A = this chain, B = another copy of it.
Amino acid sequence: MRRWILVALVLAAPAWADDLPSWNDGAAKQAILEFVQATTQQGGAKYVPPEERVAAFDQDGTLWVEHPMYTQVLYCLARVPAVVKAKPELAQKEPFKTVLSGDREKIARLTLKDLEAILVATLTGMSTDQFAAEARKWLEEAKDPRWKRPYTELAYQPMLELLQYLRANGYKTYIVTGGGQDFVRVYAERVYGIPPEQVVGTAGVTKYEYDKAGKPLLFKEPKLLLNNDKGGKPEGIHFMIGRRPHLAFGNSDGDREMLEYSAAGDGPRLALLVHHDDAEREYAYGANTKVGTFSDALMSEARKDGWTVVSMKNDWKRIFAFDK
């Protein structure tokens, strides 16, 4: 008899096993669970066939920490000495001179145009393979100053659980990021379980060339192919996926068009935003930051259109895998 009870318990487990253990019970968790159950229930009114199950996630500030500076920008700043070593004439030129000075306050005051010059100098002018090798090396060594851990450990545990839960339910999980596609691909598979073909990002033109040994390579040109931010996100989604996501998850004004575009498709759709309101465990920032701006207008649109706003403070039991 006891044995049968045990078997029954084991068989019934999925009904009460918690797929999202780092999420507190609440409206956000409920919305996610209901959406996944409804869209995967064969014969149900909201059923979505497996090939249509596409979920799109912004990265910076949605899947991992973006504050006070995007990790990719930190990478570019860290690459400046190597770039200047190869081209010594840059040492006396701005904005490279400021970066080399190491003066944090001055660096924080660099303009967007300055940053662009640094991005071009550090992200282009080499083969795609060479770039990936350099970025991989930095990611292995660099540490975030606040948590004293590799940046790749600063992924949000509740989001890792959500990605896994969606995949277990037949969803293809995509990253749709304003960040560099080639940069994110270096670690996306390891950190998020998302393969390179499911990383949609800002990308530059690459040129087909041969190295000295006659071996083909792709050379990263200093020219933008796709600016995968704001209206560029639906464009990137159309180009790389060719379907409207049924679930889209962002955290800032740069994700507005992606959420609108996804939510406007036929059938069941779920749009979500992470709200950074947890100064203690992570950061609290809103309308007036350099990165990840979550404007009042975005909050209004979310309320009006029934998008789910996820409060880090209230909806997440823990932030990182290393949290107790």
Contact = CB atoms under 8 A, between A and B. Distances in A.
Interface of A: 51, 128, 172, 181, 185, 189, 195-197, 199, 203, 205-208, 215-216, 218, 225-226, 230-232, 234-235, 238-243, 257, 260-261, 264
Q: Is the interface of A mostly helix, strand, loop or mixed?
A: mixed
A291 to B, nearest CB: 22
Nearest to A172: B197
A240 B208 contact: no
Nearest to A233: B208
Nearest to A188: B242
29 contacts: A51-B189, A51-B195, A172-B197, A181-B239, A185-B242, A196-B241, A196-B242, A196-B243, A197-B197, A197-B241, A199-B242, A203-B239, A206-B239, A207-B235, A208-B231, A208-B234, A208-B235, A208-B257, A208-B261, A215-B264, A216-B257, A216-B260, A216-B261, A218-B234, A218-B235, A218-B238, A218-B261, A239-B240, A240-B240
Contacts of A215: 264
A244 to B, nearest CB: 9
A49 to B, nearest CB: 11
A185 B243 CA distance: 10
How many copies of the shown chain assemble into the complex?
A: 2
Nearest to A208: B231
A290 to B, nearest CB: 24
A205 B226 CA distance: 9
A206 B235 contact: yes
A34 B206 CA distance: 33
A205 B227 CA distance: 11
A234 B206 CA distance: 9
A21 to B, nearest CB: 27
Contacts of A197: 172, 197, 240-243
Nearest to A215: B264
Contact of A234 (B172, B185, B216, B238): B216
A257 B209 CA distance: 9
Closest 3 CB pairs of A and B: A196-B242, A208-B231, A216-B261
A11 to B, nearest CB: 30
A231 B185 CA distance: 22
A55 to B, nearest CB: 13
Contacts of A260: 216
A12 to B, nearest CB: 32
Contacts of A231: 207-208
A208 to B, nearest CB: 3
Given A51-B195, A181-B242, 13 more contacts: A196-B241, A197-B197, A197-B242, A206-B234, A206-B239, A207-B235, A208-B235, A215-B264, A216-B264, A218-B234, A218-B235, A225-B226, A240-B240
